[in-house]
Structure 1
């Protein structure tokens, strides 16, 4: 059994055929999915999706590329959803400095606010980081010093230094289809030294389909390609990788109930 720890089931490339896509995942031994928020106004759609299907959970958060001065509305939204057992994570949040016009200061404030909420509610945080390793490390260290919080680095493409800091503060690291790409040798080198009991797997669907599906619209059933590749990289069998990453998911997202 596998869990897709990060996908976007509300996005139009998936939403139009969601029954087919989810049943395909179930039939391919992907028995649970965490559908991730990138905007405040996605909350209702994510809640509806999670309520319709077994073992689909949702997060609440604002992607760094979508941050505006209303990011603190997230606090009220979480309070409204806290009793919903399908709500299990905060994010995705973090820093994305890929574009020159990135709102760096606003992103940092939003990231820190997400961390505060994760700490206050003891709900894990889902961290996105792109072209921002140094600032991500700085914020994680500073905020952890203020008080512990739990979480993961999603779609890991960062440096060994960031991986080391994440592991030091008890974070998990989630591996996407990027690990299968030809030009991902540096990522593979770092990931090969991460203990399997700290790893999760994800699709980030509809983005980043793994080999041999690269170029297609990604979907949760493809997470097995990433998991099988990761098992070979770590020199363990796929069954062990499936079992351990699934256990890791439920250890981290301890609000999730499996039916």
Structure 2
């Protein structure tokens, strides 16, 4: 009898507290499990929403969470403090700091406060040992410079979430020992150049994600994304690396465990 169980994978970045999923989480998480998505990290983008995001992780065994101030919200929200982020990180299912970063595409006018917020989050990642989760858009030079400067001041771990920036930023991040995460964008037909960036990266530095409810991969493009669709992105990613899907899935699981050590340890202790 053939085993039809799908390979286990992790959606390393989604937003389950967004209105798109209200009242639907049990079904969303069940569909994820059917697709082999055995874990997901839901991301808090405004610290005032942390209790809601935390409650989702507490209520659903496969869900972990991260918390921070999204760069597009940096000018609207109170500036996070290192102490505040360290305190939140005491929760057993909070496994990352962010998302934070720089977005000059939509919010270039708040560049300076974004940089300040980013450095706060980096300091918290350094202090807690939790990985930093970076959003970068149209800010490659400042992003590479700040990440490198801060790393020289003290090492920390990091994932470039939904990476869709330049080869230069990819190389800068990889040179610091960071990880690149593949979203549904990498499965779009016109994303050949982006796939080439990933294909040139070490396989042991790759994660997969949905960024749900955004950026659904084919065949669901244009619809609401959800964690189950990580499987579509990962299947296309396996082709990019020229390996079979089970091998790629197993490698990304190992990568996730290495970066998100707190999540791996939580599961081992459960």
TM range (shorter): over 0.9
- Tell me the equivalent position of 1:186: 193
Matches within 5 A, 1:89-168: 89-99=96-106, 102-168=109-175
Q: Name which of 78, 86, 93 aligns with 2:85.
A: 78
Count residues in correspondence.
259
- Tell me the equivalent position of 1:47: 54
Matches within 5 A, 1:217-236: 217-236=224-243
How far apart are residue 189 of structure 1 and its match? 1.2
**Contact (CA 8 Å) 2:96, 2:260: kept in 1 or not?**
yes
How far apart are residue 15 of structure 1 and its match? 2.6
Change (3 A) 1:251 1:146: same
In 2: Cα distance, 1:200 partner to 1:72 partner: 29
- Tell me the equivalent position of 1:24: 31
In 2: Cα distance, 1:201 partner to 1:109 partner: 28
**Contact (CA 8 Å) 1:180, 1:226: kept in 2 or not?**
yes
**Contact (CA 8 Å) 1:91, 1:114: kept in 2 or not?**
yes
In 2: Cα distance, 1:73 partner to 1:166 partner: 24
Could you give the per-residue CA deviations for residues 160-205 of structure 1, whole angstroms, max 9, x where no partner exists? Answer: 1111111111101100000011221211111111111100000000
Could you give the per-residue CA deviations for residues 72-102 of structure 1, whole angstroms, max 9, x where no partner exists? Answer: 4343433433331101100000000012653
- Tell me the equivalent position of 1:66: 73
Q: Report whether the alignment pairs 1:169 with 2:176.
A: yes
In 2: Cα distance, 1:161 partner to 1:224 partner: 28
In 1: Cα distance, 2:164 partner to 2:181 partner: 10
Gaps of 5+ in 1: none
**Contact (CA 8 Å) 1:65, 1:102: kept in 2 or not?**
no
Counterpart secondary structure, 2:48? helix
In 1: Cα distance, 2:108 partner to 2:257 partner: 37
Q: Report whether the alignment pairs 1:15 with 2:15.
A: no
In 1: Cα distance, 2:44 partner to 2:194 partner: 25
Gaps of 5+ in 2: 1-7
- Tell me the equivalent position of 2:44: 37
TM-score by length of 2: 0.92
**Contact (CA 8 Å) 1:173, 1:198: kept in 2 or not?**
yes
Q: Report whether the alignment pairs 1:3 with 2:10.
A: yes
How far apart are residue 149 of structure 1 and its match? 0.7
How far apart are residue 33 of structure 1 and its match? 0.3
Structural RMSD (CA): 1.4
